[in-house]
Structure 1
Amino acid sequence: MKVVIVGGGALGSMHAWHAVRRGHEVVQVERDLAARSASVRNFGLVWVSGRADGDELTAALRARELWEQVATDVPEIGFRPNGSLSAALTDAELAVAKEVAARPDAAERGFRVVDAEEARRINPALRGDIVGALHCSRDGAVEPRLTQQAIRAALSTSGRYEYVAGTEVVDLGDGYALGDDGRRFDGDLVVYLPGARLGGLTRRMAPELPVRRVFLQMFQTQPLDEQLTTSIADGDSFRYYPAFAGDALQRLESEQPQHPVADENHMQLLMVQRLDGSLTIGDTHTYDEPFPFDVDEAPTAYLTERVEQILGRPLPTIQRRWYGIYAQCHDPRQLVHRESFFERTHFVTGPGGRGMTLSPAIAETTCELFNL
């Protein structure tokens, strides 16, 4: 079959990877010269630990397997199964970790609680004032600024893949996409993946889309002079992710109200060390549009203080800041929104902040649904 993929981000690249691996011919069309939206403005986390029970956890575990397969084909994505430590700064936060680590699915998630000494053995960079941590061995990371281009380069060697950059698709029909340069891309299957571009063609094709946009901001430091052997989260992440809901979390929220800056910006701490040693740190969440056009310093100051508490040392100088916007289904139980515009033309968007983690599994499901 000939497959047309419209979108060059993580979801589009994973759809292309699956289709080529299954023997199909693929043309991938991207409006920019390279992906510039949510797919490169994220942590690169393959995040199993916080996922909701049921379909979300199942998809995350499958995606974790698939990321390892992608890394076998494309080692340049920088995949590493480094796991994570969600550091507890108080006994109330540690109680949340203990509660989830005692649940029946703890082994499946790779959960175990460690005290401060064991946390520092796992990750010696954690020399700060922590009382323990939740260790998740199933979490991993890739390099978000390298992954899409590395996958494209690998697919190009197949002889069955073409990447068309700088062409915006302005119309869709049954088995074709029309570019703004007049080119028509015909296929036995067309998959349209607009990301957070929910206006224009997307609104025209799907006016009742059950998806919203979310704004977040992050920053990156200069290289740290030591290795973080795991990714890092904190007690705000317990408040954010659905996997941690329970009695202990309710007590935490009652006894230890979230910091006003973190509360106002719907924040959590996530920190990943890039292959060059720099640290990617975030993040915030804004749900009401219009979104700001600037980056607020208060969340950066809060996150910096939080990281320095955990590491027990000053952060390296911040070298860049950015914001991102991603598309998220209104119903959090829905992993992604799929819609068929025509018999051979289909629409996929809305994984939210789970996009980088789940993209291989979402793409695999698309291929199975449409008999690729």
Structure 2
Amino acid sequence: MRLVIIGGGILGTAHALAAVGRGHEVIHLEREVEARGATVRNFGLVWVSGRSANELEITLRSRRLWEEIGGKVPGVGFRPAGSLTLVRTEAELKVAEAAAGNASAAERGFELLEADKVRALNPALRGTFLAGLHCSQDAAVESRQALPALRRYMESTGRYQFFAGTEARTISNGTVTDDRGRAHTGDLVLVCPGAAHTGLTRELVGDMPVRRVRLQMMQTAPLGENLTTAIADGDSFRYYPGFQGPELDRLNAEEAQSFVAAQHKMQMLCVQRLHGGLTIGDTHEYEEPFNFDVDEAPYEYLTGVVEELLGRELPPVVRRWAGVYSQSIDPGTIVTRAQADERTWVVTGPGGRGMTLGPALGEETADLLNL
């Protein structure tokens, strides 16, 4: 078959990878010269630890796919570094203990480590904390270099073409007309618009059960030492369904977040890039219209948390940014798939799980459409 895929972010690229892997031909359109949305404005984390029980199977499958992809395409920068969620209060420790004792703990690779064992695993952590919930299944890829590397890999098959700086204007009977008047015809058209819920997406399928979420993040200069795992703080328990239970209820009742953290719906996540710098975030904003500028208070708060856990000053911050991703609001779905006509589908809404679940979602769509 020949597929036309619109959208060059992780979801569009993962669908292209699944199709090419099954022997199909792909024409791939991206309106920017290079994807600039949530795909490159993220941590690059393949995050198993906090996923709900209903999502665990597909998350572990995606983790395995990323490892396979990393073996074939070294440029994606896959590394099975794991993560440590560092707890600083007794209430947070109770949540970590419950997670380590959960029935799915072995699948997630959970182990609760005392502070000295945390430091042995990740010597860069010389600060203040009680313990750390280790997740050996968590991993990372280099979000800013993964997609170009995957495209080069697909181009080497001779069955993939990427049209950068090309905006799809109309879709009719399997033919996509772009903003240069060129026609791209396929047996199937997949539209992966990311957070672009209006325009062509709305013309095709109307309003979908998705919302947009805005976040803020930052990047430091090289740390000068290895951060051997990704790290998170206890506030991250509040945002991941895998930690729900009476212990989390007590944490939320007994320990309110700081004013800044609560105001910006914050958690601390931190991962080291291959160049040595740290990507640190993040915030959550759900009500539109979103601000076009970034707020300084969350950055100051995040800096303080990371410095407390590292026991040292951070290197200089070299860049700050905001991003927007698409999130399904249907609690029973991970991603929203809407059929526009017999040959056209729209796929979006993985929320902050796009990088984690991209490969598995691409394979799942291929199975659903009998590719």
TM-score range, shorter chain: over 0.9
Partner of 2:52: 52
| Deviation, structure 1 residue 312 | 0.5
| Deviation, structure 1 residue 208 | 2.5
- Partner AA of 2:14 in structure 1: M
Partner of 1:334: 333
Partner of 2:60: 61
* 2:169 and 2:177 in contact (8 A); partners too: yes
1:32 aligned counterpart, secondary structure: coil
* 2:3 and 2:186 in contact (8 A); partners too: yes
**Any stretches of 5+ residues in structure 1 without a counterpart?**
none
- Partner AA of 1:111 in structure 2: F
Partner of 1:21: 21
Distance in 2 (CA, whole Å) between partners of 1:239 and 1:282 is 15
Partner of 1:203: 202
| Deviation, structure 1 residue 246 | 1.0
Partner of 1:324: 323
Partner of 1:34: 34
| Deviation, structure 1 residue 107 | 0.3
* 2:205 and 2:339 in contact (8 A); partners too: no
Partner of 1:11: 11
- Partner AA of 2:354 in structure 1: G
Partner of 2:269: 270
CA distances 1:292-315 after superposition (whole Å, capped 9, x unpaired): 000100000000000011111011
Aligned residue runs from structure 1 range 216-295, under 5 A: 216-295=215-294
**Any stretches of 5+ residues in structure 2 without a counterpart?**
none
Residues 270 and 332 of structure 1, relative CA distance in 2, 3 Å threshold: farther
* 2:44 and 2:141 in contact (8 A); partners too: yes
| Deviation, structure 1 residue 18 | 1.1
Distance in 1 (CA, whole Å) between partners of 2:119 and 2:173 is 57
Instruction: Return the TM-score normalized by structure 2.
Output: 0.99
CA distances 1:12-70 after superposition (whole Å, capped 9, x unpaired): 1111111111111111010011101110000000000010111x111111100110111
* 2:168 and 2:179 in contact (8 A); partners too: yes
* 2:7 and 2:31 in contact (8 A); partners too: yes
| Deviation, structure 1 residue 334 | 1.2
Partner of 1:2: 2
Instruction: Return the TM-score normalized by structure 1.
Output: 0.98
- Partner AA of 2:47 in structure 1: W
| Deviation, structure 1 residue 331 | 2.0
Distance in 2 (CA, whole Å) between partners of 1:202 and 1:282 is 30
| Deviation, structure 1 residue 174 | 2.5
CA distances 1:241-279 after superposition (whole Å, capped 9, x unpaired): 111111111121222111111111111010000000000
Residues 209 and 102 of structure 1, relative CA distance in 2, 3 Å threshold: same
CA distances 1:199-240 after superposition (whole Å, capped 9, x unpaired): 111111122211110010100000001001000001010111
Partner of 2:362: 363
CA distances 1:328-360 after superposition (whole Å, capped 9, x unpaired): 011243100001111111110000101110011
Out of 283-292 and 164-173, give the one that drifted further: 164-173
Distance in 1 (CA, whole Å) between partners of 2:356 and 2:188 is 25
Residue 171, structure 1, aligned to residue 170, structure 2: yes
Out of 328-337 and 230-239, give the one that drifted further: 328-337
2:337 aligned counterpart, secondary structure: strand
- Partner AA of 2:256 in structure 1: P
Residue 133, structure 1, aligned to residue 126, structure 2: no
- Partner AA of 1:48 in structure 2: V
CA distances 1:86-112 after superposition (whole Å, capped 9, x unpaired): 001112111110011111111011111
Partner of 1:304: 303
Distance in 2 (CA, whole Å) between partners of 1:331 and 1:345 is 22
- Partner AA of 1:11 in structure 2: L
Structure 1 runs (4+) deviating above 4 angstroms are none
Distance in 2 (CA, whole Å) between partners of 1:44 and 1:324 is 14
Q: Could you say what the CA RMSD is over the residues aligned between the two structures, in angstroms?
A: 0.8
Distance in 1 (CA, whole Å) between partners of 2:187 and 2:220 is 45
Residues 136 and 76 of structure 1, relative CA distance in 2, 3 Å threshold: same
Out of 225-234 and 241-250, give the one that drifted further: 241-250
* 1:52 and 1:243 in contact (8 A); partners too: yes
1:341 aligned counterpart, secondary structure: strand
